[in-house]
Structure formats: structure tokens, C-alpha cells
Amino acid sequence: MSFEVISVIGLGYIGLPTAAVFAARRKQVIGVDVNQHAVDTINLGEIHIVEPELDMLVHAAVTQGYLRATSTPEPADAFLVAVPTPFADGHKPDLSYIEAASRAIAPVLKKGDLVVLESTSPVGATERMAAWMAEVRPDLTFPQQAGENSDIRIAHCPERVLPGHVLRELVENDRVIGGMTPKCGELARDLYQCFVRGECILTDARTAEMCKLTENSFRDVNIAFANEMSVICDKLDINVWELIRLANRHPRVSILQPGPGVGGHCIAVDPWFIVDSAPEQARLIRTARNVNDDKPRYVIERVERAAKRFREPVIACLGLAFKANIDDLRESPALEIARELAERFAGQVLVVEPNIRTLPGVLEGKARLCELNDALAEADVILVLVDHAPFKRVDPVRLQAKVVIDTRGLLANG
């Protein structure tokens, strides 16, 4: 099938790069987002997020007429749903964004259209998306009703890209594509092969959903091991960074690096989807989540002990994003730590985050956003939370009179 018009629902950290990559292949792309600022910014040929080289790709796509944004879904041949899937109280999956997107695009569907859910989702979410659309469009048939003969094809294809490298990995990485029927999967594969140079591997929708959750849970468990080792090493007065470096010289050992916790919309969230689906069986996954969720509290306690050395301590938090060289603050342990410290040390917390222009609301009036040089000059306690590139270039001489707590092994090796 020829996909003449492609609609991407959700123009965030995954949706916008995906839309831009399709547009770069000279496909007509309609981006849809409820954020009017994002829509207006994109239609100016600019971007509202930080991702290397994305600004140039979007500018070219908009200027050449292959990409435009709107707040209301329009008819297309394929729809990619890339909206958030956070969790609600009790770590329960919140599918309200997927439901809203499903009900919004249903009125513009026509026979032969393909709908792909890209949002990382609990097992069964793709089927629920199809059910929501079927409620709105009883005049069309969906795979759960008509199988291979359905009017609308439904599939799940989770993204698996690294922030900061999204454009390259969208093209190069393999994609797991799960159709609600084999023909649904084949049609989705045809769509992605427009730009994916990696292999497009077919499976069913539920397996594809679980695959993404498994990938992120695997990483979460291994990060939890590293974070737990860092706490143990502190207790035993051992440099965890040296320990990991030595242990990793074993040919079958590859320990990850510890940090202040785990952030982002994937690793910090997805394991809870598995726990929610199989609470009695997911014992290791639940424990790893608890270990990583507890790490920010441990970091805060270290800072409080260090601050007691000073009458009116000034604390500099280096970094708010959940990983290096991006502006994404979702589920960021660095932001959680900075917020808590700002509550406890009101007016004494400096924040250095080179990828944002204003402090997030939870820090407004409680901390001060400043440049790196100013923070290094004023602070008594330097807390490294993110390994942004500028922080790696700090002259160690400037830290000699400071107390340095380095959760990334960047400045003080522990």
C-alpha cells in the first residue's frame, strides 16, 4: 500500500522526530498536538524541544511543505499515536492520553487506514485503543471484530531510541512490529520501511508491548544493582567508580554506572506496567524499582550531612535533566533532589541546567538558576546530578575548597 499522507499524534520527544524523518522521505506529514505552543512553533519551522539536528530537519520539512502541525486530527492513510503513558496513583498505568487520541482520530478514519500505537504501553493497550475507536466508528470494522478482513488495520511499534541520538537511532535501530493480525503487522512494516534501515521484525501486538517493557525493565534491574553497590561502597569506604572499572575487566561482567536514581519516561515508568500486570510474579522488577526510587533520598541525606559543616551552606545542583545533554525533565531524579533540597535550604540552592531557560514550576521562588561559573564561585557544596558536557570541563582546581558530592563519577570520582 502507498501511504500518501501520514499523521503523527503527539509531537513530543518521539512524535516530532518521527514526523520529521517521514517528511524527510518526502511524505506528506500532518502532526497533531493539543499543545498550541508546540503547533505554532513547528509551523514556524522551529522546535520546542532539545534534540541534536532536529531543528534543521524540521525547518527543512516545513519550508519544503512536507510537514505541518495542527491541533485537530485530519484524514490520512496512516496514523501513528505517540502520546504520553504516565502512571497514576499507586503506579497504575494511565491510558487517558491514548484513549483521548483514539477517540480524536476515529472520526476521520476511512476504510483501509492503518493506526499504529507507538506509545510505550502495558500489555493489552493496543487492543483497548482499537476498542475505543470501534466505539466511535460502528460503521467501520476493526481487527477484534473482523480479523484479517477488517476495514482498519491496527499495530503496535514501540520506539527504542536514546535521547540525544534519536534521529540516528530512528533510522538505524531494528523495530519490533506487533500487528493485531498478521496483515496488520505487514502493513505497518511497509510503513516503517520507508525510513528504517534496521530490520523490521513482526510479532503480535501483545508481545511487542511486552518487548518494550522488558527492554526497559532489564536496564532498570541492572542500574539498580549499580546503585545498590554505590550505597554499599559508601558504607565500606570504597570508591565505587574504581570498583566497577576493575570488576568490568572480567570478560563476562558489564556493570552499569550508578547515578542519583533513574529518570525519563521509559525506564522509570515501564517496569511498573509489568508489576501492575503481574504483581505476584514481578518480584525482582519491583525490588529494582524500589532501589532506584530510593536513591534520591540517599543523595539528599549525603548533602544534608555535608551541609552541616557550614553555618549558611550554599548548595549548587549541577543538572536537572534525567540524562546528559538534553532538556527532558520527565521523572528526573535530579529534579526531585533539587526540589527537596530547595525546600530544606530555602534561598541557598543554586541550579545549573544549560539546556533550559527558566526553572520548572516546582523550583520557582525556591532556588536560583545560574551559570556554571557563578555556581562554582558561590557554592560550598557542589552536587553533580547529571553528566552534561560542560560539567566535564570543570578545572579540578576550582573544587579544592568545596565539598563535592558526585553522583555521576564526573568530578570527584565519588
Query: By C-alpha distance, which of 9, 119, 15 is closest to 73?
Result: 9
Closest to 29 (Cα-Cα) out of 47, 45, 5, 10:
5
CA–CA separation, 353 vs 388, rounded Å?
9
308 is catalytic: no
Instruction: Say if residues 273 and 282 touch (Cβ distance below 8 Å).
Output: no
Return the SS3 of 116.
strand
Burial class (CB in 10 A: 0-12, 13-18, 19+), 67: buried
Catalytic residue among 157, 200, 266, 317: 266
The contacts of residue 5 (CB under 8 Å, 6+ apart) are: 27, 28, 29, 30, 75, 76, 77, 78
Q: Which residues contact 409 (CB under 8 A, 6 or more apart)?
A: 240, 241, 257, 258
For the beta carbon of residue 294, count every other beta carbon within 10 angstroms.
14
Active site residue 184: no
**Active-site choice (27, 212, 295, 323):** 212
| Active site residue ranges | 212, 266
